[in-house]
Structure 1
Amino acid sequence: MNLHAAVSSFTLTIAMTLPSFAAPPATPKRPVTDTYHGTQVVDEYRWLEDWEDEEVREWSEAQNAYARSILDALPGTEQLREQVTAIMTAKTARYGGVAYAGGDWFAMKNQPPLQQSFLVVADSPTHEDDVRVLVDPNEIDESGATSIEWYRPSHDGKLVAVCMAIGGNEVGDVRVYETATGKQLADEVPRVNTGTAGGDLSWAADDSGFYYTRHPRNDERPEEDMNFYQQVYFHQLGTPTEDDRYELGKDFPRIAETRIEVDKATGRLIVTVQNGDGGEFAHYLRDTDGNWKQFSEFGDRTLQAEFGKHDDIYILSRADAPRGKLLHIAVSELGTDEPEVILPEGKDTLVDSFWGGGSLLPGEDRIFVEYQLGGPSEIRVFDLEGKPLEAPAQPPIASAGGLRWGPDGSVLFSAGSYTTANATYQYYPSSGVTAVTDFRYELPVSFDDVEVTREFATSKDGTKVPVNLLYPRGTKLDGTNPCLITGYGGYGVSLTPHANSLNRILLDHGFVVGVANIRGGGEYGEEWHLQGNLTNKQNVFNDFAAVLGHVIDRGYTSSEHLAIEGGSNGGLLMGAVMTQYSDLMKCVVAHVGIYDMLRVELSPNGAFNITEFGTVENPEQFEALLAYSPLHNVKDGVAYPPVLFLTGANDPRVDPMQSRKMTARLQAANTSGGPTLLRTSSNSGHGAGTPLDERIEQEVDVLAFVFDQLGVKVNDGQ
């Protein structure tokens, strides 16, 4: 079908059927002209970038009021609030981030109606009522604004370092707690984590202190550099943090993102440094004498390095192997000999896990690895020579990963699917037994009546693009079903199967729900990612449009029944597809998205994104950015679909000005008569740490908006 003209009468239909709304707040145009490589670009809404300007805050408040005047009046809102609240506040515990140390089991627990997840400890994986609360941000901050970013137990399990942030800004300080008593120690290390560079921590082999990522403090750097220039320091327990010892990082790039791993057996360290968010890594080894050696460089395609059990290192590389190969080398041979290939490149993709996702786990006599299969993933096991061994039992068409060690030589991993809840499993290699632990999520809904299919759309250049579809059993493919399709397509991130309980509401109203595995992600390795980044970014939008065309052609839905939704880089996807393929969908929901591609690199987190999107300083990359930048491709007099933009005032990753400028531009240009709404949350950021009550209200607004635009009558939830 012709994607640009899927429904010839769609524009007219919007104009004739949508109700009229009160006009949005007036937005003055104050043109500023920039010249890039001889091309003049006019920015009419530059003034909306300055959040410190009282006029901008007043404008944002007026937009919120306008959005509320429409959202609060939508039919079925109260029924949807009841349904969303029932699911999100169900008395079912949800566990994640499980770790075992020194005989104790640690996990993050989410237990509605508490606003934030909290850290718990138990004596066994089948803990029943044995779980004890260790650190609860709900008690620390009754407002619900404080959240745990991450935690790291000491090797002996007696202490735990916890990184906490406030208001979704992800700027986290580390506090140390005793596992036995929950008592907080005097040790408190500031600015270990930020929303731009992230952060990490690893305990010394003897648990006397920890290595951590240190950001600039006080006046060490100019204000604009405070969330950059990450370095590695060591903190000795019981000493002032001002006395912490510098270890590594003075020569790191400004946009360094750092991961730290300590080998408990030897005390050696591996530090992995990512150059921004583009997937280039450098690796450093600290030997037993405290000397540092760099053993990989940016650009050599060494992604990950992990300690083995025999004084050696396993390396995941994509050098001449876009889907990855696994290498092995003894520590003593680093820099002198070439690593040996244990697992050569195959048809599936070896998964790398920079932020400790647990995709590679070398053991005494076998290696556990995670493979990406184009969306779903699975764990495979090999001996030290690369021969396949029996793997643990795993759900089909699922997401399996998160490898880490359990007690008595067991291996822990997480797995779930689109219809089964994620759970932590314990696998015993000696017996081949796989047991599910009590660290799991008891779904408050059932998906027993749901079909899951995986199909392939054909993109503009002929590339086959997977889309995973969920729908009630017996759904007729007559083009009348309401449909919601999501996607991401960036940074090598793979969208893997997981059960979203809120999909139950959509399915109960006859929706088809789709997840697209488009280029820019990592579903098929490095080539899949590189075909969707920098000057190839347009492939991402063509892929998603092809998926929309596919579900229409197959009769799952039609343009007038189709909604699309995405966040962050997926918000950029929404903006680009909306401006390029406006006839394909009825409405759009975009969370914390990027829309001004010429100015994004100037924001606090923008420098980290240059490796993914490119820079206006490069003529070729500028041309590509301008060609798809959603803000710059909005055209006056075009009937764009209704859109709901959501952003958080404290977002450290995507400047909320992106949503403000895109909203203003669409409101001025759109002729469809449909609303362009901007919803700004004052107590959230990019998503992490958002209180439960606010998450509920966001979901209610999104569902009410989509249901109204697609003409779906809300049932009573019975």
Structure 2
Amino acid sequence: MLNMLRLPYLPSLLLSSIILTSFSINSQSLEYPPTIKRPTINEYHGYQVMDEYQWLEEIDRPEVRIWVEAQNDVSQKHLRKLANRNNTINMLNEYMLQKKRWNTYANINFSSNHESNYRLFYDDDLSAPSIYYRERSFNDYRVLVDPKFISNNDRIVIENFAPSKDDRYLAYLYSRNGSDWREIKIQSTEGSVSPPEILTGVKFSNVSWLNNGFFYKKYQQGAITDQTLDSEVYYHRLFTEQEDDSLVFKTNSPYDDFQLSGTYQQDMYVLEIHNPIKNQYSYLYFDPTSDIKAFRPLHYKVNYSLEFIDFKHGHLFMEATIHNKSQIIAFTAQKPLEIRRVTPEYEDAQITGYELMDDKIVVSYQALSKPFMTVVDLEGNILKEVDLPGGVSVSNMSYQKASGDFIFLLQSFTIPPVVCKLDLNNYDYSVVERTGVNFDFQSFKFSTQYFPSKDGTMIPIFIVYKNELKKDGKTPFLLSAYGGFGVISNPHYDPGIIYFIEQGGAFAFVHARGGGELGFDWWKNGRLDQKQNTFDDVIAAAEYLIDEKHTQPAKLGFIGSSNGGLVAGAVLTQRPELFGAVVIKVGVLDMLRYERFTVGPKWVKEFGSASDSLQFLNLASYSPYHNLKEGIEYPPTLLVTAHTDDRVPPLHSFKFAAALQGLSGSNPALLWTQQGTGHSGAANVSEKVENKAFVYGFLHEHLLRKD
């Protein structure tokens, strides 16, 4: 579909063509709504690129809303039919029940400095979790904040919360309809009058308490698709209006973004200033015990990032990337360049978490298929290396100072999270609470294998299957990858994967370049002008599974979300013959215009910018929307997006679906736009079940059905 012409050769006829298109898919009895083609010409560095569906970027325009509703009428009816036909909803509901129970334990707000008094519980299947507060005994909880009472019209989800040091007040952040925008309210825990103010314009912010108020970050809030720019840090004092808040920090650059973090003890605060266009960082600190009541420099205009962990014994503990590895380092505010490395380095493992105590740090590492924990003192001496089972991941490590308990969670793609306790005296761990399952998890097996990518680089793939992995080419396989932003992808419980495997399939996750599983260089070799490596790795994975006779193209599917949605779109357009079905969830699909919307400017260091002539050519070479071609039979495709997704706005999916439906292929190309939710999907259990049932009912129809 990429129609790039040198300026002198652009046909003037393109500007006047308006075409109505309607398509029928005989094999599926699907008829899509008519979509208007309104060719728009965008100029890039001497090239003109025609965009026939740019009008769909105006997502709140009445005609776009009508078009989306018509698309949903088709897709939801069809997806519900498939889910019912394959009994997908009932079966997934059984697997989701285990996750419902788990969620009551998962969202405990832990702190290493005090015993937590807060938990999130689902009250019912139709509501988002409420905040419960413990007053007297461990099990004596009462509802403190119920999201149902915040709004009668919007779907409210509590996203985060932070108690004041004296535990008298709880500041909590919540979203409306899945948006990344947050509002902050404050609740009294003592039954006294709560501060009435509501803070708005908050995004990607935490809350750092100081005395009778807290720091937070805000932006100028506009339409859903507006760029997120002009970050500012404010201090809010309780029982005052937001308009009276004190501006703490801002710069002249609209692209500078800030993150302020403080300790629970309120003895140190660190401000990060990040310019994503220049990929440059600066760090300032504020010591409230000092006579100097201002932020002072630590590191200025550096090309590495630091994450503030805590302040202990006069040292700031930070996470940093050193020699291609994430490390925990320590230094004093007075001598910030005298850095001491605290954590050991392992050749084939990356840090995935840590918990800092008064005299030691417990650090979790993830090798490709096997995690472990290392306990070190604050000088960096290894106290113990704790071996853990293969095929799982560690998360939610927390030390409860009052009880002395150190809790962490283990989970895998096929086992819901298990609560474990680490004995800090002998460093043995034991299982505290198991989540019951109604399937034989011991019959699930896994293996890590390697295959060569296009350039010869050996790529790891993690395969999950039941009983045995056959080589008869008949096993339905679901492939997935993320491959972006240096993210370390760990095994996590997914009821959809259980469903797919229980129906006779197998699952594989590709640790493609662009991810962080093998360090900084692995990320670097899958970003900017090396982004094609990510797609080559996934394509090679598909070829490997086929060549090894584990599966065949008609039974091989791919599912990807967010950056993984970009991967899905890229492999779909580059090698459509390899796949029997593709699911693209909230994917970034128009790579020439992505940076014009919402948080797109923050992604320039990952993808590059169309404003740069060389980067433009690279983006155009793989942009999924611009590389659809007439005459190609694309596999059955489901695009899932959300109207209030202001991270990856739905316009990406709208335009891609319109273009794909406008081709002459015979396979389904469905667009499903969820309402009242955002980038992370449904908030309550009932909708989570239905959403997964729609996706896996679609995959079942095209990959698992035997008739």
Structure 2 length as normaliser, TM-score? 0.88
| 1:203 corresponding residue in structure 2 | 209
> What SS class does the counterpart of residue 169 from structure 1 fall into?
coil
Residue identity opposite 1:109 in structure 2 = F
Q: What letter is aligned with 1:154? A: S
Query: Which residue among 165, 168, 171 is the counterpart of 1:155?
Result: 165
Amino acid across the alignment from 1:707: H
Q: Deviations over 1:85-133 (max 9, x none)?
A: 33335663422232345444423334651431222344799x5x54433
Against the structure 1 CA distance between its residues 703 and 401, is the aligned structure 2 distance closer, same or farther, given a 3 Å change threshold?
closer
Cα distance in 2 for partners of 1:302, 1:157 equals 32
- Answer with 101-110 or 459-468: which moved more: 101-110
Partner of 1:67: 75
Which residue type is aligned with residue 34 of structure 2? A
CA–CA separation in structure 1 for the residues paired with 2:649 and 2:605: 18
Deviation at 1:632, TM superposition (A): 0.9
- Superposition map of 1:326-345 within 5 A: 326-334=328-336, 337-343=337-343, 345=345
Structure 2 counterpart of 1:296:
299
For 2:255 and 2:57, locate their aligned partners in 1 and report how far apart those are by CA, in whole Å: 24
- Does 1:709 pair with 2:699? no
Q: Secondary structure at the match of 2:88?
A: helix
For the 8 Å contact 1:683–1:690, the answer to whether it is kept is no
Indicate the SS of the match to 2:31. Answer: coil
Of 196, 199, 212, 1:190 maps to: 199
SS of the residue corresponding to residue 542 of structure 2 reads helix
| SS of residue paired to 1:332 | coil
2: CA distance between counterparts of 1:88 and 1:535?
Answer: 40
Rounded to whole Å, the distance in 2 between the matches of 1:172 and 1:75 is: 34
Q: Verify: 1:681 aligned to 2:665, yes or no.
A: no
> In structure 1, what residue type is equivalent to 2:76?
R
- Counterpart in 2 of 1:324? 326
Deviation at 1:424, TM superposition (A): 4.6
Superposition TM-score, scaled by structure 1 size = 0.87
CA contact (8 A) 1:146 1:689 kept: no
Match of 1:49 among 57, 66, 90: 57
Q: 1:600 to 1:240 in 2, by over 3 A?
A: same
Deviations 1:382-415 (A, max 9, x none): 2233221124564433222444431245544333
Shift of 1:20: 4.8
Distance 2:278 2:122 in 1: 32
Partner of 1:9: none
How far 1:136 sits from its partner (Å)?
A: 2.3
* Alignment match, 1:271: 271
Q: Which residue of 1 aligns with 2:94?
A: 86
Q: What residue identity is the alignment partner of 2:194? A: L
Which stretch of structure 1 is more off in the superposition, 596-605 or 106-115?
106-115
Q: What residue identity is the alignment partner of 1:327?
A: I
Partner of 1:512: 506
Tell me which amino acid in the other structure corresponds to 1:86: E
Assess if the C-alpha contact under 8 Å between 1:484 and 1:565 holds in 2.
yes
Q: Deviations over 1:317-371 (max 9, x none)?
A: 335x11134432123323xx5223344654145537xxxxxx3444333233333
Q: Which runs of 5+ in 1 are unaligned?
A: 1-16, 353-358
Answering whether residue 310 of structure 2 is matched by residue 315 of structure 1, we say no
Q: Which deviates the most, 80-89 or 599-608? A: 80-89
Residue 351 of structure 1 aligns to a residue whose secondary structure is: strand
Matched, 1:640 2:634: yes
Matches within 5 A, 1:435-450: 435-436=430-431, 442-443=436-437, 445-450=439-444
In the alignment, the residues of structure 1 paired with residue 77 and residue 226 of structure 2 have an alpha-carbon distance, to the nearest angstrom, of 40
CA contact (8 A) 2:261 2:308 kept: no
Letter in 1 for 2:330: H
Q: Report if aligned partners of 1:175, 1:185 keep a CA contact under 8 Å in 2.
A: no
Question: Which one of the candidate residues 413, 424, 429 is aligned to 2:424?
Answer: 429
Tell me the amino acid that sits aligned with residue 427 of structure 1. Answer: L
8 Å contact from structure 1 (residues 532, 538) kept in 2: yes
Counterpart amino acid of residue 38 in structure 2: R
Where do residues 240-251 of structure 1 align in structure 2 (5 Å cutoff)? 240-250=241-251
Listed as ranges, the matches of 1:593-632 within 5 Å are: 593-632=587-626
Tell me what 1:212 maps to: 216
Q: Deviations over 1:442-479 (max 9, x none)?
A: 55654221111121222111122222111111342211
2:129 match: 117
User: Does the aligned pair in 1 maintain the 2:569–2:584 contact within 8 Å?
Assistant: yes
2:26 matched to 1:24?
no
SS of equivalent residue, structure 1 residue 316: strand
Secondary structure of the residue that 1:510 maps to in structure 2? coil
Distance 1:135 1:148 in 2: 9
**Relative to structure 1, is the Cα distance of residues 555 and 154 closer, same or farther in structure 2, using a 3 angstrom cutoff?**
farther
The 8 Å contact of residues 138 and 144 in structure 1, kept in 2 or not, is answered as no
Which of 663, 677, 696 aligns to 2:657? It is 663
SS of equivalent residue, structure 1 residue 390: strand
Could you tell me which of 167, 172, 175 is aligned with 1:165?
A: 175
Q: 1:73/1:97 Cα in 2 relative to 1: closer, same or farther (>3 Å)?
A: closer
Mark the CA change 1:648 to 1:375 in structure 2 (over 3 Å): closer, same or farther.
farther
| Equivalent in the alignment of 2:259 | 258
TM-align CA RMSD: 3.0
SS at match of 1:470: strand
Q: 1:604 is paired with a residue of what secondary structure?
A: coil
**What letter corresponds to residue 282 of structure 1 in structure 2?**
S
Q: Which whole-Å deviations, capped at 9, do the CAs of 1:534-568 have from their partners, x for residues lacking one?
A: 11110110111111122222222111111111111
Query: 391, 397, 408: which one pairs with 1:397?
Result: 391
Q: Per-residue displacement from partner, 1:506-552 (whole Å, max 9, x unpaired)?
A: 12210101122111111111111111111111011011111112222
**Aligned pairs (5 A) from 1:426-575:** 426-436=421-431, 442-443=436-437, 445-575=439-569
Match of 2:231 in 1: 230
**What is the alpha-carbon distance in structure 1 between the residues aligned to residue 499 and residue 278 of structure 2?**
36
1:272-316 Cα shifts (integer Å, max 9, x gaps): 344449976432210233221122245431332333421111233
**Mapped partners of 1:472, 1:652: distance in 2:** 38
The match for 1:418 among 413, 416, 419 is: 413
Distance 1:116 1:565, change over 3 A: same
- Note closer, same or farther for the CA distance 1:223–1:576 as it changes in structure 2 (3 Å cut): closer
Could you tell me which of 9, 16, 36 is aligned with 2:44? 36
Partners of 1:317 and 1:530 lie apart in 2 by 16
> Distance between the aligned counterparts of 2:389 and 2:273, measured in 1?
34
The match for 1:355 is none
Counterparts of 1:259 and 1:338, CA distance in 2: 23
Tell me the CA shift for residue 63 of structure 1. 1.5
Closer, same or farther in 2 for the Cα pair 1:52/1:241, shift >3 Å?
closer
Distance 1:349 1:528 in 2: 13
Alignment match of 1:381 (pick from 367, 375, 385): 375
Partners of 1:425 and 1:682 lie apart in 2 by 38
Q: Distance in 1 between matches of 2:321 and 2:488?
A: 17
8 Å CA contact retained: 2:30, 2:668 = no
Q: Give distance in 2, aligned partners of 1:419 and 1:51.
A: 38
> What number of residue pairs does the alignment pair up?
675
Shift of 1:573: 0.7
Partner Cα distance (2:190, 2:430) in 1: 27
Residue aligned with 2:677, SS: coil
Query: Unpaired segments of 5 or more residues in structure 2?
Result: 1-24
Q: Output one character per residue of 1:644-664: Cα deviation in whole Å (capped at 9) or x when no partner.
A: 111111111111111111011
Aligned to 1:282: 282
* 1:431 to 1:157, Cα distance in 2 relative to 1, 3 A: farther
Show CA shifts across 1:34-59 (max 9, x none): 22111221111111111233222222
1:142 to partner: Cα distance:
6.2
Find the residue that maps to 1:28 and give its secondary structure: strand
Q: Distance in 1 between matches of 2:117 and 2:429?
A: 18
Structure 1 contact 149–170 (Cα < 8 Å) conserved: no
